[in-house]
Amino acid sequence: MIHEAADLPLPAAIAVATFLLLGATLTLIGAVGFLKLPTFYERIHAPTLGTSWGIGGIMLGSMIFFSVASERLVIHEILIGVFVTITTPVTFMLLARAALHRDRTEKNPKVPAKQTGT
């Protein structure tokens, strides 16, 4: 039974490192987008993608590492991925709708008026 990262076979170590770097890079891109984009409505999109796709890469790396290390299939990380993938966009959508309502109530001229169905 493998217990240490140093004992991982080379192909598994490369796969784990690749997915961890990919996930970390996507999360970093989301964080930079959050800091650099000028308005709240533009900023709301970057962290959603960074979190969802970033957690996917980190989750895959973790699944490969622990599956190889324990010599059995370890997939409970999928629950974390599903939870994050569902809750993050919903949370940001609710934040955006609350901000839109606030801006319309304050009659902010940069926000489009509420559209009515025809």
* pLDDT band per the 50, 70, 90 thresholds, residue 60: very high
In a domain, 117, yes or no: no
Burial of 36 (0-12, 13-18, 19+ CB in 10 A): exposed
pLDDT value at residue 8: 86
More confident residue, 116 or 43: 43
Dist CA 106 CA 30 (whole Å) = 29
Q: pLDDT tens across 13-39, in order?
A: 999 999 999 999 999 998 898 899 888
pTM for the whole thing?
0.77
Q: Is residue 67 part of a domain?
A: yes
Average pLDDT, the chain: 86
d(CA 81, CA 102): 32
Q: Which domain holds residue 101?
A: 12-105
Q: In this model, does residue 3 exceed pLDDT 70?
A: no
Spatial CB neighbours of 82, under 8 Å, sequence gap ≥ 6:
none
User: What is the number of domains present in the chain?
Assistant: 1
